Amino acid sequence: MGQTLAGRVAVVTGGASGIGRSCALRLAQDGARVAVLDLNAAHAGDVAAEIQAEGGTAHAVGVDVADRASVDRALAEVRKHLGPIAILVNSAGKTAHDSFLDISLELWTSVLTVNLTGTFHCCQAAVPDMIEAGWGRIVNISSSSAHSGVPYMTHYVASKAGVIGLTKSLALELGPSGITVNTIPPGFIDTPMLRTAQAGFLDTPTEKVIGQTPVRRAGRPEDISAACAFLVSEDAGYITGQVIGVNGGRNT
């Protein structure tokens, strides 16, 4: 891609691990100055160091996307160190697996608060910079589970379906300001979150899932970051409000 994002500041939440880490590395390779935001500040620092070692510019900030004050503090730090925010990738997320009747209001709220309200907080806190610049790109990482539904994951799936609705409505509202908003719902991407799920509640062996996947392999974080890099590029300026599935053909 070259330095297509040179001069842009990109914020990637959940940037310490899996899909977010891959997006942070890729956007830095494409020339963006990247803020790596994560609950795990130490691992976010490792990713920022990796970007710097490759010659890029990065800054790590610890954040809890569920907490608006924490998001506001983190974005103020990003502006101070890197400049106004042009690109936002919301990848921070929390998975959960519980029988519907066992989901307490507290658990329901905690999943919705990280996955959906966290996306709301980060969008609302970053968008003023984009409006000011007359240019912006937002990519929200939702989930293919919102297409299919998944038993024992009503809280998680509802939160991700909410992210899709938020994306579509925000795209309509922000289009006239030069800002695009899209969502990538990943499907079966080999990350720490997926491995934890497989070690715990996912009872389908990897080989079986691969056999049911048209392209006959598991997804890699790089599959998502490649789509993300395109969606935040200048070339994708006429794409907004879209749900861009990256799932090996498992959902069409």
Q: Are 42 and 106 in contact (CB under 8 A)?
A: no
Nearest distance from C-beta of residue 176 to ligand NAP, angstroms: 28
Nearest distance from C-beta of residue 118 to ligand NAP, angstroms: 6
CB closer to ligand NAP, 177 vs 198: 198
CB closer to ligand NAP, 94 vs 137: 94
Q: Is 156 an annotated catalytic residue?
A: yes
CB closer to ligand NAP, 131 vs 220: 220
Please give the residue ranges that form the binding site for ligand NAP (CB under 6 A). Answer: 13-14, 16-20, 38-40, 63-66, 91-95, 114, 118, 141, 143-144, 186, 188-189, 191-194
Nearest distance from C-beta of residue 52 to ligand NAP, angstroms: 19
Catalytic residue among 30, 71, 156, 224: 156
CB closer to ligand NAP, 234 vs 244: 244
Nearest distance from C-beta of residue 152 to ligand NAP, angstroms: 15
Q: Which residues are catalytic?
A: 156
